[in-house]
Copies of this chain bind each other. A is one copy, B any other.
């Protein structure tokens, strides 16, 4: 998320009750998770294992729970609980705005676009031209929808990321990460009925141009789906997965978070993708393998009794 205008680090230190280390004069332009961070951004780290990665990242302001050497030109906000400080900043700059009508006054709806009854369109949503939004669709604040998009009933765009920090010592163990990213649906996308596409935690969840989703599909926070993909019913994709162009996922496929599926990959029904896989190939199984390899394995399993017989006959 980018701020509307630069925020002085000195204000941030006071707001989060952090100790200011390093450059005390600059301003922050936005706030982002480590994998999306850009120059001028605030990010946070609370695990020594990732200190270096964060300190060496593009982040200009780093919320951290240990006073370490501050890299040249950066600013550290040293505090006990960087997660909490990060969430506090997000909530301040991206507060929840309650709605009292189905179509927000701040939404922009393009020419030729038709919204059926029962559609909710949140604040600052932008919908392009010649779209058709079927009844009882929900579009949370800040979503951006291109031209010629069709969205079927019951679908929800922009619910919060499923992202929590566990605090085992507390009675209520899971602390909510506040999401401030957006959902972006590019031109010529069709989304089936009863789908859910979560907003990004700090960046955007993107469905690329010309991609078609069947019903009951779940797309996690920050996922980037390429152009001209085809996902069949009940597919689920975990947070921040990257799915390149022209990927085909058949029904009930599950995709874990934080991985990449290469361009043009085809995944057969009910498969489970647990790690990054190359494009241009056909996959099957849970966990997924090359489809032909998997088929051969299934055949070998059927031959175990024959092996046993041969072995014991001797």
Q: Give the contacting residue for A153; candidates B100, B156, B272; CB below 8 A.
A: B156
Question: Of B150, B198, B236, which is within 8 A of A234 by CB?
Answer: B236
A-B contacts, 18 listed (Cβ < 8 Å) = A96-B132, A150-B160, A154-B196, A160-B192, A162-B192, A162-B214, A162-B215, A172-B210, A173-B228, A194-B218, A196-B215, A216-B216, A251-B254, A252-B272, A270-B272, A300-B304, A301-B301, A301-B304
For residue A171, give the distance in angstroms from its CB to the closest CB of chain B. Answer: 7
> Could you tell me the distance between the alpha carbons of A269 and B256 in the complex, rounded to whole angstroms?
8
A32 → chain B, closest Cβ, in Å? 22
Question: Could you say which residues of chain B place their CB within 8 Å of the CB of A194?
Answer: 154, 156, 194-196, 216, 218
Q: How many Å lie between the Cα of A246 and that of B172 in the bound state?
A: 11
Q: Is A244 an interface residue (CB 8 A)?
A: no
Contact B120 A99 (CB under 8 A): no
Q: How far is the CA of A310 from the CA of B167 in the complex (A)?
A: 49
A169 to B307, CA, bound (A): 47
Contact check, A162 vs B311: say whether CB atoms are below 8 A apart.
Answer: no
CA gap between A42 and B272 in the complex, in Å:
41
Give bound CA distance, A233 to B118, whole Å: 25
C-alpha spacing A230/B165, complex, angstroms: 11
Check B176–A190 contact: CB distance below 8 A.
yes
* A302 interface hit (Cβ, 8 Å): yes
A297 within 8 A of B: yes
Residues A215 and B198 in contact, CB atoms below 8 Å apart: yes
Query: A308, B303: Cβ atoms under 8 Å?
Result: yes
Taking CB atoms, residues of chain B closer than 8 Å to A210 are: 171-174
Which chain A residues (164-203) contact chain B, with CB distance < 8 Å? 164, 171-174, 176, 187-188, 190, 192-196, 198
